[in-house]
Every structure is written in C-alpha cells, then in structure tokens.
Amino acid sequence: MRIEKLTKESKANLLEELLKRSPNQYGQYEAIVADIIKQVRENGDEAIFELTAKFDHWDCSEDTLYVTRAEIEEAYASIGEEFVSVMKKSSENIRSFHQKQMHNSWVDIRPDGTILGQKILPVERAGVYVPGGKAAYPSSVLMNVIPAKVAGVSEIIMTTPAGADGKVNPGTLVAADIAGVDKIVKVGGAQAIAALAFGTKSIPKVDKITGPGNIFVALAKKACFGYVSIDSIAGPSEILVIADDTANPRYVAADLLSQAEHDELASAILITDSEALAKQVSVEVEKFTNELSRKEIIQKSLDNYGYILLVNDLEEAIDTANAIASEHLEILTKNPYEVMTKIKNAGAIFLGEYSSEPLGDYFAGPNHVLPTNGTARFFSPLNVDDFLKKSSIISYSKEALALVHKDIELFAKEEGLTAHANSIHVRFEDK
C-alpha cells in the first residue's frame, strides 16, 4: 500500500478522491434508470416481466414472480444446519440490539388544559432490496428486515433477482425466512425499486425502501425518493483504521483488506503516527493479498483508494478521521476509549484489537447498513426509527388558548397571513 505523509494539500486531495466514489457522480446512468422507472409506471407487470427477461435472462410471469414455500424449504436443505444455526444466533443479536431503540408514544397534560404529545406508529409496508449473483449477502437481509419487524411494520416485501434458472440464492431465502419477510419477489435492478415505489398489479406499493444494490439500484432509489421513503443512497464500502505503535500490524492489514475485497471502488485507509507500523502493515497487506481469493479486486481497490497516512500525532489522526467520516472506523491504540470520545463522525466505531469490522457485519447486533461517502456527518446507521413515523398531538382548552390567542394573532399578522389570525380571533370575537 502507498504510504504518504499527510499534509493540508494531500488531505484535501484525498477527500476529493473519495467523494468521486459517490453514486451522485454517475449521472450518465440516470437517463437509463429514468426510462426503466417510466416503463414500470406505465406498463406495470408487463414491464417487470420484459425487463427481467432482458437483464436477468429468465422468463418471469405472474405465476413465477413470488418465491414459494417449497423453494424456501429447498433452500434450507441446500445450505446445511450449521449455517442456519449461525444465522439464527446472529438474528437474535440483531433483534436484541434494535429492541433497545424502540420509543413509545407520549402525552404531556398541563394544568391549564393544554395537551401536547407525540404518536409513534410504524410504516404500514416496507420494501427491502437484496442484491443477487456474486453480491448475495444473507447478512444484509437480516440487517434490513429485523429493525422493520421490531418497529412493528405490518408487511415486509423483499425483492431480489433470480438467476437464469429462476432460482434465488438459498442463503438469501433462508435469511429472509428467519428474519420474517412476508413476501419475496424475484425481481432485481431499477425495475424492482420502481415496482416497490409505485406498485403494479402483482407487487404492492410500499412506504419505505431499504437495502443495498448496484449503481442502477442506487440511482433508482434516488429518483423514487419523495414518492416513497428510502434509507440512503449507499456508495462503495470503506474502512478507516486509527492505529499507534501498540497495534498488531497483521491485525491492521487483515482488517483493511476485509473491506477492500468488496469491490474495486472500496476504500481502505490507515492513519498512524508510527512510521514503523506503517511499513509493517504495508508488508503484511502484500502478503495477505497474494493469499486471498479475491486478490484481483483487492489489488485494484488498494491501487485506487488504499492509503497509509502518516500523521504527527493522534490528535491529527482524529481530526482527519472526522473529516473523512468513514463508514467503518476501527481504533487500535493504547487507549481506544479515550480516542473514541473525540470521534464526531463515523458510521460504526470498533474499539480494540478483538473488535474487527466483520464482527459488526455479521454478528454483534448493531446494524451494518451504514452511511458512506462522508455522510456519517449527518446520517446514522439503519435503525428502528427508519421504520417509524411520528405525529404531533395538540389540544388546547378554551382557557389555555385564551391566555395566548393575542400572541398567535400578532405572529400571524406579522407574516401577512390574516386568515391564520382570523382562525384564532373568531373564537374570542365576542370579547
């Protein structure tokens, strides 16, 4: 991996390079996505069947659109009991973590007759997109579906592309069954997002769409936002490690590569104040890369977006990490908890040498659907709140309104909204 001394100029260049990975930078595909959405909105199921044949190369029909119970049972048989058991353990950890995020409706009743409150309800129907092919990740099914179930969503529709044989990845099906998906639709790509957003004869419209996907899926979610709620427009995966001279270089190298293997646009960055560690990690990265199965993807990822940045001290490392706002942040220092208190921007923070990023991806419980491309400055991991909506409750008695009606009328008149003022005034015009 390249080793660079961090300067003000190199920091600015790095941030600019990382932003180029955002789906917002791929406008050349927007016209294709817009056309697909238009076809689905105008032609519904017919467009879905045609686009599935075109892109996924199998003849989808109304009779074969949904996964059957028999297909789910076949999936259980094909993946083995050990993997099923692990997924069930993981799902329990995820469910337990997200149950702690639940909120209750509340009201505040005051002596003057004022009642204020908040009514919290789940969205009625959620749609979850799950990639297929080489990017079929059962863990993403668990992470997207379980928070919706905890929130109390009435119906969860999952869409995922089938192979040319019309079959869905068995791990994906088992994960969906464990998590509690209600219906599974064998449709992928931008057309799946359009179907969930606008509905067709066979596929119901949802209120919220979550889940990862390729650039066409990301742009379709962006285009449909406003017609339906979405989680985020996710970019490529990324990891940032802050480490000092106490860190194990093999651990650091292994953790960097755990994200670099995702795809060629994945980002893996080490920030350290130890030149010796930087050199050792670079050597270990090269050794591991030559041994790992996805070494071609890893190498391209490292060539494009892999960095070892040398800083003067940990304070400079922390400032840089906050500027990058990485999806995954590992802290491998003498006192990781002290460093953590100074971190302002990160999707998920992993503390200590036995808390590597894959622990969060698969098993610990916190959600692995995280903000990318610097959006951790203002976005949060997927959580129960994403599937809840809140309504304000307002009730004033006549006596309570009488105490403030002139204030409200004045405010409305200052804004030039006399009908607003009159709506309050008529209730006291006899005085």
* Catalytically active residues, by annotation: 327-328
Would you call 153 exposed, middle or buried from its count of C-beta atoms within 10 A (0-12, 13-18, 19+)?
buried
β-pair type (388-395, 267-272): unpaired
Of 199, 205, 176, nearest to 48 by C-alpha is 199
Residue with tokens 């639940």: 102
The whole-angstrom separation of Cα 288 and Cα 412 is: 67
Of 372, 345, 376, nearest to 238 by C-alpha is 372
Going across the sheet that includes 388-395, the strands are 106-109, 115-122, 388-395
Assess contact for 255 and 356: CB atoms under 8 A.
yes
Partners of 331 in the beta sheet? Answer: 242, 351
β-pair type (267-272, 306-310): parallel
DSSP letter, residue 67? P
* Three-state SS at 279: helix
Residue with tokens 């997200």: 98
Q: What is the CA radius of gyration of the chain?
A: 25
The whole-angstrom separation of Cα 99 and Cα 176 is: 19
The helix (run of H) or strand (run of E) holding residue 5 is strand 3-5
> For residue 358, how many C-alpha atoms fall within 13 Å in the half-sphere facing its CB?
12
Amino acid at 364: A
The whole-angstrom separation of Cα 182 and Cα 201 is: 17
* Three-state SS at 107: strand
